[in-house]
Amino acid sequence: MGIQETYDYWRANVRQDQVAELERLATNPDELADAFRKELEFGTAGLRGILGLGPNRMNEYTVGKATQGLADYLNATCEEPSVAIARDSRLRGEEFVRVCARVLAANGVKAYLYPRIEPTPALSFAVRYLGCSAGVNMTASHNPSAYNGYKAYGPDGCQITTQAAKAIQDAINRTDPFAQVKTVDFDQAVADGMIQWMGEDVIDAFVDAVAAVDLEPADAPAADLDLVYTPLNGTGLECVSAILKRVGIADLDVVPEQSMPDGNFPTCPYPNPEIREALELGLARCAQVRPYLLLATDPDADRVGIAARHGDEYVLVSGNEMGALLLDYLCARRRELGLPLDESVAITTIVSSAMIDAMAEDYGFQLRRTLTGFKYIGEQIGLMEAAGRADRFLFGFEESYGYLAGTHVRDKDAVVASMLIVQMARWHQAQGRDLIEAVDGLYQRYGYYRNKTLSFSYPGAAGAERMDQIMGMLHQEPPSTLAGLAVERVVDYAQGAEMPVVGALLPEDQPQQLPAANVVEFQLEGGNKIIVRPSGTEPKIKAYLFAKQADAAQADQLLADFEAAARDLLA
């Protein structure tokens, strides 16, 4: 059906109280076209979109249709399937959770629900803890308040695989959102035992599992580090405050305006701890109380950003810098404890800092690089677990402020990261340096690796076409020079590529192929590179810039040159 036909079909089938919203849409041709030009695609990140009516929007009908597809898939592949369900603080999250549970129950799939908002890693944990066939989390991560999403997980606690996503999408495609979505009364399903609220034991077990990752010295000072924390009106407060209390931070100073869950995110329109604007209230609070550290978790508490006191100012630490800091801390602590590193495996992505290669050679651990998306890191943990060697996993991180230590979940975890950041800060403090001095120490040891991520927006139908044109050009006619440097090699991940590995392979470590992906890497002379990929969740193309020099000023200048080149390339 075309846009007008699809609109008419929706208008004839939505609830009567929703007709006025559709009629308003009809007065704005661009908005109407965007809402009805296609259906939200169910990929390995599930669904994500703007709230509103239409097949390209997040609403009760698209959630119901997606869940019917998921239920059909589970009933075809599992015996007595069950699903763990969670949500963050986003608008309409509770409604969507109930829709999801009602559809699952109507299809004979048992649904376990967290009774309140909880972090994304707590959902990944619950899937494994309860032995569920799948998980669903209603979240749009750090997107603006107009968005919500439907993130699907497999039985291993990872976001679903490409194969599973395709099978679910096929089932979704066969489903009419109005005529073929089964549903049942919520309270009746609870009474029948098909919908069950998770008990406090589940979230308590999650916090216990986080605490088990602790490597802090037994004689470390317990409460000598003051910090300010902001959950950015999201889910982090309960679990982050609980774990920090366990490691000696009893009096957590929480930014008052951002302490309570609020899907409108009134204090920051883009609640992403990667950007300074989201931290402004936290930084203002730091100016008043002068803590050692500012911690900020995003709305679903799978990412964490920090600002560290350095002299009289607070300096932000990037995701790449924090990943390197935490990995260095874990390696140093293992050495102090007399634990070997030669069989340990750290995992990061192709778009994360190249400094980690140098760290792997220095410490002697194995480094694996996956495609972007923490599920690929989770899959590598699963491979080691299947071989009976989950103990090999050392650390995983993405440049986009996602970190994981421990094997309790298969997704990035701001709760365990917050604990480790505090413990690492105390460890450096005991040696007479702050975290900014610790970052500089890494640069002095390994070289000045400068990184930057640029995002270019392409809204609407015309923007989607432009994105396809740009990526097509890069695949078919890649440039021979960028920023005056020769392109020595082009890695077209759409054609597949071998997983990059640094360090020795054990006998059970077979070479691995990365899945095909719409990513192009330009390897430049001098060990520099630029990587370009479209976002999987937003109408954006991202350019990842990697500059390395022996001198900080030269590295900064080269990074600026790369930024200018990327803007020309993706204009």
Which whole-number Å values give the CA distances from 293 to 62, 392, 415, 444, in the listed order?
Answer: 42, 31, 16, 23
CB 137 within 8 A of CB 120: yes
Strand 227-230 to strand 253-254: parallel, antiparallel, or no bridges (unpaired)? parallel
CB atoms within 10 A of CB 381: 23
As a whole number of angstroms, the distance between CA 413 and CA 324 comes to 16
Active site residue 133: no
Q: How far apart are the first and last CA of the chain?
A: 33
Which three-class secondary structure state does DSSP give residue 22?
Answer: helix
CA–CA separation, 518 and 533 (whole Å): 6
H-run or E-run covering 528: strand 528-534
CB 120 within 8 A of CB 86: yes
Q: CB of 354 within 8 A of CB of 449? A: yes
Name the strand (E) or helix (H) holding 460. Answer: helix 460-476
Type of residue found at 290: R
The rounded distance, in Å, linking the Cα atoms of 100 and 97 is 5
Tokens of 25: 């849409």
Q: Which residues touch 254 (CB under 8 Å, ≥6 apart)?
A: 228, 229, 230, 231, 237, 241
C-alpha distances (whole Å) from 97 to each of 70, 182, 291, 437 are: 14, 15, 38, 45
The three-class DSSP label of residue 302 is coil
Query: In a 3-state reduction of DSSP, which class is residue 260?
Result: coil
Backbone conformation region of residue 52, classed left if phi is above 0, alpha if psi is from -120 to 50, else beta = left
Contact 303, 412 (CB under 8 A): yes
Q: Which amino acid is at 305?
A: G
Q: CA dihedral defined by 252, 253, 255, 256, rounded to 10 degrees?
A: 90
Question: Under a CB-based contact definition with an 8 Å cutoff, are residues 164 and 148 in contact?
Answer: no
Among the options 124, 141, 344, 352, which is catalytic? Answer: 141
For 357-444, where are the E strands, in sequence order?
366-370, 393-398, 402-404
Distance of CA 258 to the CA centre of its chain: 21
Question: CA 359 → CA 346, 365, 407, distances in Å?
Answer: 10, 8, 22
Q: How many CB atoms lie within 10 A of CB 3?
A: 17
> Residues 449, 443: contact at Cβ < 8 Å?
yes
The catalytic site residues sit at: 141
